[in-house]
Amino acid sequence: MLAGQTRAFLTTLAGRPPVDEALWLEALTHGSTGAARDYQRLEFLGDRVLGMVIAEWLYKLEGGNEGRLSQRLNALVSGATCAQVARTIGLGEHIHLGKQAREDGGQDSDNILGDVMEALIGASFVTLGFEATADMVRRLWADLVAGKAGQAKHPKSALQEWAAGNRRKMPEYRLVERSGPDHAARFTVAVSIKGLGEAEATAGSMREAESLAAAQFMERFG
């Protein structure tokens, strides 16, 4: 069952003591522990619930077209944003990891933090229902929705438009290196424009590494 500190953490998170402690424990359990149940099924569910809550929120909050709403939605439900929220609430110290995963820095891995954040949303949905879970998400994501997350043009789109506007070849992305264990993988990606130059960046996912590389390229050459 849940340790006392973790139970208190979840009570604060959900706004009430956790119902079905075994399910919440599952949401906090990484596959490296060898436990019979880990967070993956709840992560799958939580990802969809989070998307629905944020989509409804943006629909009511903003008057933009579909493209603008989709841009903000994608930014607000990304793995990087989920990991950011997880760090804000101190989730890492409550995640159950195997010895090697813990030694490899799994508690601060973007991939693991983001996945467990979604799993907790899934556990909340199963035990407390949609409205209570939506309230939790709105509280945790309030500053991000009120801020500029997803409002700026995506770095890859900005780079592509810059290249077209300057009559350059389209950007080309390539994987330079993949390192680290599966649960804490790191990807180094390079983006180049023929005849101009190249920039590299490293992140916990290919998508994020490509975005960072594009931003680095624009900073250097744009």
Catalytic residues: 47, 118
Q: Collect contacts of 31-36 with beta carbons under 8 A, ≥24 apart.
A: 31/183, 32/97, 32/98, 32/100, 32/101, 32/106, 32/183, 33/96, 33/97, 33/98, 34/98, 35/96
As a whole number of angstroms, the distance between CA 76 and CA 125 comes to 19
How many helices and strands in the chain, by DSSP H and E? 10, 3
